[in-house]
């Protein structure tokens, strides 16, 4: 049997991490929704993302990064940078070879490390590069050195840039600042209507880590209960502590709940595979990130599910949510402001008005639609 050549351009999506966090889930969703490109996902380590991609029959290749590179954090110092440099040189060479072998037409990079090593590998292999930036490239979460290496790399290597929000784009410098802004797909599976016969349930979705603001949500929930939220209302916290540094925070949240005597009101669900089932049980979805969220996929997912959302008034969610029309916005880090919005959603008519408008707005983030926009951006470098 002979098979013809693959007619679709082969687009590599590269991320160094296999943890199922925001940008990695984005890669999976876009790979699933793509029609005009053949996606090949390249991951720097084996892990949950790799299994998820393969379960969806997406061509996936692991090109391991040296441990010295993989485990380098935003705050690692110069000595570890030197060690990482040797590891990076090796990773770059092996990735360049892999890209050539896989007949990749365009390389897209999706994580800070990938913006550096995968972009260099692509240039070495003579392949066009698009940097798709998912995180703000300035700020306290990046050390000074890492921030400047990242911003410089983003400026010199890629042929084109995409940013997930205007906020993300505004953190870039030079050429990268001309990035096209394309949002993320809202891919939620089958979510049932919010149940009418169950107590009011707030849901919070995402990695359990301090900047996601679960502690603020718990505090706000306690304030709202004291101020007249139905007594049987509940807060469901969905998500796991994905990285070691988050375990202490997860433990502190449980202590906070116990100290408030709310063990029967706040439920920790941990990391779940079936997000749609969790979403189905919630009437209101809360997003409370303390630092401006670059995009915030959970917000558009909740909107697509027709839920009333309350989001932190900053970054991506503030670009997406029209306050009091398609959702509610509350000042980040302010439990009182969040409690006030929670109290507003106790009214079923308000929830249904916000949820209906949210669902209509979320049409813009349908996976096929976003994939089409991205295909246009990614493939634009081939025409140059």
* Sites of contact with ligand GLC (CB under 6 A): 21-23, 26, 134-135, 164, 184, 293-297, 316
Q: Which residue has the tokens 């209507």?
A: 193
- Angle at which helix 48-55 crosses helix 22-33, to 10 degrees, equals 10
The interaxial angle of helices 214-226 and 335-344, nearest 10 deg, is: 60
Burial of 375 by CB count in 10 Å (0-12 exposed, 13-18 middle, 19+ buried)? buried
- Nearest distance in Å: CB 166, ligand GLC: 13
Q: Write out the two tokens for 41.
A: 């996902």
Distance in angstroms between the alpha carbons of the first and the last residue of the chain: 36
Concatenated DSSP letters for 94-113?
Answer: HHHHHHHHTT-SEEEE-SHH
Please give the residue whose beta carbon sits closest to ligand GLC in the complex.
Answer: 22
For tokens 């949950």, what's the residue?
48
Nearer to ligand GLC, 265 or 291 (CB): 291
- Least separation in angstroms between CB 149 and ligand GLC: 19
Nearer to ligand GLC among residue 158 and residue 296 (C-beta): 296
Least Å from the CB of residue 302 to ligand GLC? 13
Nearer to ligand GLC, 27 or 357 (CB): 27
Least Cβ distance, residue 360 to ligand GLC (angstroms): 21
Residue 200 beta carbon to ligand GLC: minimum distance, rounded to whole angstroms: 27
Indicate the residue among 227 and 368 with the shorter CB distance to ligand GLC. Answer: 368
Q: Which is nearer to ligand GLC, 257 or 298 (CB)?
A: 298
Gap between the Cα atoms of 75 and 42, Å rounded: 25
Task: Please report how close the Cβ of residue 199 comes to ligand GLC at its closest, in angstroms.
Answer: 30
Specify the residue, 31 or 224, whose C-beta has the smaller distance to ligand GLC: 31
Tell me how crowded residue 71 is: count the other CB atoms within 10 A of its CB. 11
Closest CA to 31 of 276, 367, 376, 383: 367
């Amino acid at each position: 049997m002979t098979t013809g050549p693959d007619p679709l351009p082969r687009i590599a999506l590269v991320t160094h991490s296999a943890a199922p966090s925001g940008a990695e889930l984005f890669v999976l969703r876009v790979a699933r929704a793509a029609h005009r490109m053949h996606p090949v996902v390249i991951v720097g380590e084996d892990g949950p993302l790799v299994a998820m991609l393969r379960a969806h029959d997406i061509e996936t290749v692991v090109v391991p990064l040296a441990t010295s590179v993989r485990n380098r954090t935003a705050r690692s110092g110069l000595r570890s940078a030197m060690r990482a440099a040797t590891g990076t040189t090796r990773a770059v060479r092996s990735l360049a070879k892999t890209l050539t072998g896989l007949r990749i037409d365009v390389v897209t990079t999706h994580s800070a490390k990938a913006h550096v090593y995968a972009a260099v590998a692509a240039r070495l292999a003579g392949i066009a590069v698009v940097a798709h930036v998912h995180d703000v490239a300035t700020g306290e979460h990046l050390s000074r050195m890492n921030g400047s290496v990242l911003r410089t790399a983003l400026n010199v290597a890629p042929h084109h840039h995409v940013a997930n929000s205007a906020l993300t784009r505004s953190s870039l410098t030079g050429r990268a600042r001309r990035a096209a802004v394309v949002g993320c797909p809202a891919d939620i599976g089958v979510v049932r209507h919010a149940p009418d016969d169950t107590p009011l349930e707030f849901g919070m979705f995402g990695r359990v880590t301090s900047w996601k603001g679960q502690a603020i949500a718990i505090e706000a929930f306690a304030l709202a209960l004291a101020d007249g939220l139905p007594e049987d209302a509940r807060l469901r916290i969905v998500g796991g502590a994905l990285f070691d540094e988050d375990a202490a925070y997860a433990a502190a949240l449980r202590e906070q709940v116990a100290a408030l005597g709310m063990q029967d009101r706040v439920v920790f669900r941990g990391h779940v595979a079936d997000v749609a089932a969790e979403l189905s049980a919630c009437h209101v979805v809360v997003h409370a990130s303390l630092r401006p969220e670059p995009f915030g996929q959970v917000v558009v997912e909740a909107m697509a599910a027709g839920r009333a959302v309350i989001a932190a008034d900053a970054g991506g969610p503030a670009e997406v949510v029209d306050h009091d029309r398609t959702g509610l916005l509350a000042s980040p880090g302010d439990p009182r402001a969040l409690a006030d919005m929670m109290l507003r959603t106790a009214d079923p008519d308000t929830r249904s008005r916000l949820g209906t408008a949210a669902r209509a707005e979320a049409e813009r983030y349908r996976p096929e639609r976003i994939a089409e926009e991205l295909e246009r951006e990614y493939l634009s470098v081939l025409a140059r």
